Amino acid sequence: MKYQSTQSTIVDVRFGKNARLVEPCNLFSCQLGDDCFVGPFVEIQKGVQIGDRCKIQSHSFICEGVRIGADCFIGHGVMFTNDTFSTGGPAGDPALWKPTNIGNYVSIGSNATILPVNICDQVVIGAGSVVTKNITEPGTYAGNPARRIK
């Protein structure tokens, strides 16, 4: 049986003070704030900005166009997307991708999917939720599509 090694790719990353990561992970041309933690098997793509004191748990995917504020928690297996399939299929042209902005003090539960949206400060997204629309009021949101539950 042939063995294949899993290795990290970390290229052109701006690490804040005391930023920590657990390999293997893939980070490309992104920025992590002070005191951030990135778990194993995470991919963070080009241009992503993550604020101070954020925790990104294992198996999460943060695509181009995402900005995460300070003091945020991203649970295990959270998936961000920047493509709404507006042409009926995957948009190969990055000009068609849309941004996502996450405020401060946002907690996103495991296995949530975040479409290109804006989420204000002080929001909790329940595990397994799918966020399809902007969230403009603090509170707790859950479901598919995610709705305010308190």
Burial group, residue 131, by CB count within 10 angstroms (0-12, 13-18, 19+): buried
User: Quick check: pTM over 0.95?
Assistant: no
- With H, G, I as helix, E, B as strand and everything else as coil, classify residue 60: coil
CA angle in degrees (0–180, nearest 5) for 82-139-130:
35
**What domains are defined for the chain?**
9-148 (2.160.10.10)
Distance of CA 147 to the CA centre of its chain: 19
Beta pairing partners, 68: 50, 102
The pLDDT score that the predictor gives to residue 1 is 52
Q: Are the beta carbons of 103 and 123 closer than 8 angstroms? A: yes
Q: pLDDT by residue for the chain (150 residues), tens digit each?
A: 555 556 788 999 999 999 999 999 999 999 999 999 999 999 999 999 999 999 999 999 999 999 999 999 999 999 999 988 888 888 888 888 999 999 999 999 999 999 999 999 999 999 999 999 999 999 999 999 999 998
